[in-house]
Amino acid sequence: MIDFFKNNWMSLLALAISLIALFKDLIKELIIYKKNKKNLKKSKITIKYINKKIVISNYGECSAKNIRVYIDDTPILEHKDFAVFAKQIDFSLLTSQNSIGIKHLEYMGMQTNYKIKVIYDDENKKNNEVEDIVNIF
């Protein structure tokens, strides 16, 4: 038995190194798989202005919950241009591949751009934040 190890030590060393490399690659693939699986369960919120509405869309793979919208750092339910229409909308849940459209008041001398911030929760994290500037005209 000792002669076997003496004669084949290089082959046994190569086998050990190969097994270590195999386990290292398996662990790396498992980590990548877990990260990708976690990334699939995110909400991806976008903000756009379409057809005289501010549209908040969720293009992610999971629902966004507890959505808070701020316009120029004012909660949307208190903003003079949006509060009337926003009170009719349920901001508790925005499911995957859906949108919320929020109208605004139009009047002479109104502001032409707004800083909009959306804060929401999803399966991965609480208080996710998206911010954008929307031009009305």
| Residue 4 reports pLDDT greater than 90 | no
CATH of domain 45-135: 2.60.40
Q: Over the stretch 42-83, which tens digit does the pLDDT of each residue have? A: 889 999 999 989 999 999 888 999 999 999 999 999 999 999
Mean pLDDT of 33-43: 75
Mean pLDDT of 10-24: 88
Q: pTM to 2 decimals?
A: 0.70
Domain boundaries, the chain: 2-40, 45-135
Q: List the one residue out of 45, 44, 51, 49 whose CA is nearest residue 114.
A: 49
∠ CA 68-127-62, nearest 5°, is 85
